[in-house]
Amino acid sequence: MSPALPLPAIPRTASGSRGLPAQHRAGRPGVLLGVLLGLLTTLHCTSGLALAVQDDAGHPIVLAAPARRVISLAPHATELLFDVGAGETVVGVSDFSDFPAAAQSLPRIGGAQGLDLERIAGLNPDLVVAWTSGNSARALEALERLGIAVYRSDPESLEAVAMNLERLGILTGHAQTGTDVARAFRARIAALGARYSRLTPVKVFYQVWDKPLMTIGGAHLISDVIRLCGGRNIFASLKSPAPTVDAESVISSNPQVIVVASDEQRGPAELARWEEWPGLAAIRHRDLVILDPALITRGTPRIADGAERLCTAIDVARHR
């Protein structure tokens, strides 16, 4: 949970990605690239001669053999690698990579505030899993000039989380595990959607930060979670992943639920500004939600846990 976007400095939290946005993509591969990737993936599946996927930036990633030394440049990428069973290949991780516990003892190579390129090169990785919104484009290009394969992971939807699991499973030689974990994740998401997504919509305001007041646009992963729960992000029409808004626009929308990603100690203080407007539906009915940042801001299977909690809270407001 940050970004290559021109955003104000925001204190980092233990989540490593506190509500910060995913970048919009600047172009997609053409038909020929898609055909090439399909052929290479087929080759991988049938003969083991090549491992080929497309990353979230639309770049083809082709390895001659499964990656055996992998570096993660973001907390969510670290989780994804362990999720597909590739934890033993991870030789370096970013700051705030605190889950699973095994990741906490791995060498740190920096994070969204800067990468130690010399140390990364010294670890001799054959694959780096980067974060487009949180890592410097210049730093990633420098790694590629060293001949290191860089997979850019930046899931903007729940389906993209599943696809990242599948792709990283292929690149690390854990294709079956990646497929299995992705299937289980999709099943959880589908169950939540079947239960909540078609119910009466509930207006939701998601607060990323309070000074300045920041929220999420409709293309953000968290907005996808809100939709899954039958909620309506009041700023879904905004194109920026993490726009700055004013209090007046929130008040005029009169959200029924206000959400912050924080801990139980800081969360109430972050919500306190809205107490000045007791007429807001969310304040009147006390539909104020505090979610663990690690369960809602990271594009990993654990976001299904955050989605379950958010869906329950939205449904409570729905039945007011």
Q: Tell me how far apart the alpha carbons of residues 201 and 129 are, in angstroms, rounded to a whole number.
A: 37
Long-range contacts of 266-271 (CB under 8 A, 24+ apart): 270/207, 270/210, 271/207
Between strands 231-233 and 90-92, the pairing is unpaired
The residue written with tokens 């090169």 in the block is: 121
CA dihedral 87, 111, 225, 261 (to 10 degrees): 110
Cβ atoms of residues 189 and 308 within 8 Å: no
Terminal CA-CA length for the chain: 32
The residue written with tokens 């055996």 in the block is: 68
What is the predicted pLDDT for the residue at 48? 53
What is the predicted pLDDT for the residue at 150? 98
Q: Tell me how far apart the alpha carbons of residues 2 and 5 are, in angstroms, rounded to a whole number.
A: 8
Cβ atoms of residues 133 and 112 within 8 Å: no
What is the predicted pLDDT for the residue at 49? 58
Q: Which domains does the chain have, with CATH numbers?
A: 31-187 (3.40.50.1980), 199-318 (3.40.50.1980)
What is the predicted pLDDT for the residue at 304? 98
Q: What is the pTM of this model?
A: 0.84
**Model confidence over 186-244: pLDDT tens digits?**
999 999 999 999 999 999 999 999 889 999 999 999 999 999 999 999 999 999 999 99
**Tens-digit pLDDT profile for the chain (320 aa)?**
333 333 333 333 344 443 443 333 333 444 445 445 544 444 444 445 589 999 999 999 999 999 999 999 999 999 999 999 999 999 999 999 999 999 999 999 998 788 999 999 999 999 999 999 889 999 999 999 999 999 999 999 999 999 999 999 999 999 999 999 999 999 999 999 999 999 999 999 999 998 899 999 999 999 999 999 999 999 999 999 999 999 999 999 999 999 999 988 899 999 999 999 999 999 999 999 999 999 999 999 999 999 999 999 999 999 98
60 phi-psi bin (left φ>0, alpha ψ -120 to 50, beta other) = beta
Between strands 60-63 and 70-72, the pairing is unpaired
Q: Tell me how far apart the alpha carbons of residues 130 and 149 are, in angstroms, rounded to a whole number.
A: 10
Strands (E), 107-223: 110-111, 114-115, 127-130, 150-152, 202-207, 209-210, 213-214
